[in-house]
Amino acid sequence: MKWEKYLVPASLDEALKTLAEYEGQARVIAGGTDLVPQLKKKERTVKCLVDVSRLAELKGIHHQDGLMRIGAGVTHQQIAASPLLRQTAAALAEGAAAVGSPQIRYMGTIGGNIVNAQPAADTAIPLLALDAEVEIASKEGVRRQPLEDLYVRPGVSKVDASAEIVVAFRFQTLHGKRGSAFARLAKRRSLSLPILNAAAVAILSKDGALFEDLRLALGPVALTPFRARKAEEALRGQPVDGESVVEALVIASEEAQPRTNPLRGSAEYRREMVKVLLGRALERAVAAAKA
């Protein structure tokens, strides 16, 4: 038996109650694309699955007053295909489009991609660069937490999927002199995990010449999705196309701590690729900000 009970609650409240009843032995399932293989391989055990994929509270992509709110139950396909997100949070749309395969993108949700806590999850890296906040519902109510604080180590997040439900992600949309982009290196063009991925958000001065602010995210170069803060620091206030960019990329490659993986590349190669991918993401983010 992979699980003994499969419940499909009709509301968020009911879902939370159900989780509470099982006292830690139930787990939230959304698309199931990560969880079902884990359960099949007995990497995880669970008594009850609580399916949140049809909850209205977890649906929808809404934009109001410069704030984007994406329901945790929104699928990668919906994000990748959203004209609104393509325009105002391109890095996220691009990241979602890179997940797995069409089937996985139709099934998998952005919430699941985050709770599964892989350090190079293709939606986590752009969300990190977008400085997203996460709404998490529990018996005690809804709390908001920066995405960055959610991670513990590969496969483990601070969301207790036996008691809590990720409801939505929120971030400031990018308009005016702001732009974002995502870059990815993988063995092949579909069905593959990244050797490295990177997302950049560029916030430029009015004349488009300087980085007023910027955020750079990378994976997998640490146990959790990684913000290249030293590189960001080095570039803040600097020209968008000068030597400082090259220097910042070097800094990023030094602060990143990629590991050697016999299937996906050596630490040395990945470190070198930090410069290339981050450079490409940043260049496109700047171009988008200027456009």
Partner 1 sequence: METLTMRLNGEEVTVQVEADALLIDVLRERLGFMGTKEACGEGECGACTVLLDGRPVTSCLVPARKAHGREVLTVEGLASGGELHPLQKAFIEHGAVQCGYCTPGMLMSAKALLDRNLHPTDEEIREAISGNLCRCTGYVKIVEAIKAASAG
Partner 2 sequence: MMSKEFSFVGKRVPKLDAPEKVTGQIAYGHDMKLPRMLYGKILRSEYAHAQILNIDTSRAEALPGVRAVITAEDIPDMRIGWARDHPVLKAGKVRSVRDEIAAVAAVDEDTASEALELIKVEYEELPGVFDPEEAMKPGAPVLHGEAPNNIQEKMRQSYYHGDVEKGFSESDVVIEDRLTLPFVTHCCMGTSFILADFSPSGDLTVWSSTQMPFLYQRDLSMVLGIPASKIRVIKAPVGGAFGSKLDMYPFEPICVLLAQRTGCPVRITYTREEEFVVGPTRQPVICDVKSGAKGDGTLTARQVSMILDNGAYSSWGATTPLVMMQTISSLYRVPNVKYDVVVAYTNNPYSGAMRGYGNPQATFVVETHIDMLAHELGMDPMEFRLKNANQSGDVTGQGVKITTCGLTECIEKAAESVTWKAKRAKPDARGVGMASLIHVGGGARIYPSDGCGSTVKVDDFGKVTLISGSTDMGQGADTVMAQIVAEELGVPVANVTVVNADTDITPWDVGAHASRTTFVAGNSARLAAMDAKSQILEGAAENLGEKAEDLDMKEGKIFRKGEPEESIPFEKMVRSKHFRPDGDIVLARGWYEPPTERQDKEFRGNISAAYGFATQAVEVEVDTQTGEVTVLKIAAAHDVGRAINPMAVEGQIHGGVSMGLGYGLYEELVVEEGQVLNPNFADYALPTALDMPEIDTIIVETDDPAGPFGAKGMAEPACIPTAPAIANAVYDAVGVRIKDLPITPEKVLKALNQKKESEEEK
Bridge partners for 109 per DSSP:
75
Minimal distance in Å, beta carbon 104 to partner 1? Answer: 6
* CA triple 108-162-218, angle to 5 deg: 50
CA atoms within 13 A of residue 218's CA, in its CB half-sphere = 34
Stretch that binds partner 2, among 21-29, 133-141, 147-155, 264-272 (CB under 8 A): 264-272
Indicate the DSSP class of residue 93.
Answer: H
Question: Where does this chain touch partner 1 (CB under 8 A) — which range of 115-123, 129-137, 153-161, 184-192?
Answer: 184-192
Closest contact distance (angstroms) between CB of 15 and partner 1 is 15
Residues 192-231 as x/- pattern, contact with partner 2 by CB under 8 A: xx-x------------------------------------
Q: CB of 25: closest distance to partner 2 in angstroms?
A: 21
Give the C-alpha separation, 174 to 156, whole Å: 30
Q: Which does 262 bind (CB under 5 to 8 A by kind): partner 2, partner 1, none?
A: partner 2
Which of the listed partners (partner 1, partner 2, none) does 3 bind, with a CB threshold of 5 to 8 Å by partner kind?
Answer: partner 1
Nearest-approach distance from CB 117 to partner 1, in angstroms: 19
Instruction: Provide the β-strand partners of residue 210.
Output: 239
* 264's tokens: 């996906």
Residue 107: how many CB atoms within 10 A of its CB? Answer: 19
Nearer to partner 1, 3 or 169 (CB): 3
Q: Distance (Å, rounded) from C-alpha 135 to C-alpha 205?
A: 31
Quote the distance between the C-alpha of residue 119 and its chain's center: 9
- Is 272 a binding residue for partner 2 by CB under 8 A? The answer is yes
- In the chain, the amino acid numbered 163 is A
Binding site for partner 2 (CB under 8 A): 185, 187-193, 195, 262-263, 265-266, 269, 272-273, 276-277
